[in-house]
Amino acid sequence: MGISTVGQLAKFPLELLEKKFGIMGNQLYYHAHGIDLSEIGAPLMQGQISFGKSQILLRDYIRREEIKAVLLEICEEVARRARTHNKAGRTISLGIGYSKDDLGGGFREPKQ
């Protein structure tokens, strides 16, 4: 669709995004304008419980020690929240995005 920046996404017609992506097109459009209408903490399905953490870093981390420290902080936060709710997990998912060559890059496991 020729969209590679948030600015381009914000200028793209809402109707075309909804036609191509359905409800996700609507969310993409509004998120590009800084608007998120979702309820914070609301489960997607009744009874669903999940804990997650994402973090946007101000720079790329290259040194192994720095990467380990950031990942450990994120893991500790998720584990603390699970313990607070007296829950144990069955699935762990990890995604890492990075700015390689300003075009984006990264991975997500398990793959969806």
Instruction: Give the contacts of 62 (CB within 8 A, at least 6 positions apart).
Output: none
Q: Is the pTM of this model over 0.75?
A: no
87 and 65 fall within a common domain: yes
For residue range 9-18, what is the model confidence (pLDDT) as tens digits?
A: 889 999 998 9
Q: Is residue 44 part of a domain?
A: no
Where would I find the H helices in 1-112?
Answer: 6-11, 14-21, 23-32, 64-84
Cis peptide before 13 (omega within 30 of 0): no
26 and 57 fall within a common domain: no
Q: Is residue 45 part of a domain?
A: no
57 and 112 fall within a common domain: yes
Burial label for 30, CB within 10 Å (0-12, 13-18, 19+), is: middle
For residue range 44-103, what is the model confidence (pLDDT) as tens digits?
A: 566 667 888 888 777 878 889 998 999 999 999 999 988 998 888 888 888 777 766 655
65 and 93 fall within a common domain: yes
Cis peptide before 110 (omega within 30 of 0): yes
Q: How far, CA to CA in Å, does 61 sit from each of 40, 102, 112?
A: 29, 15, 25
21 and 76 fall within a common domain: no
16 and 59 fall within a common domain: no
Domain carrying residue 22: 1-38
In the DSSP assignment, the letter for residue 22 is: T
91 and 58 fall within a common domain: yes
Domains identified in the chain, total number: 2
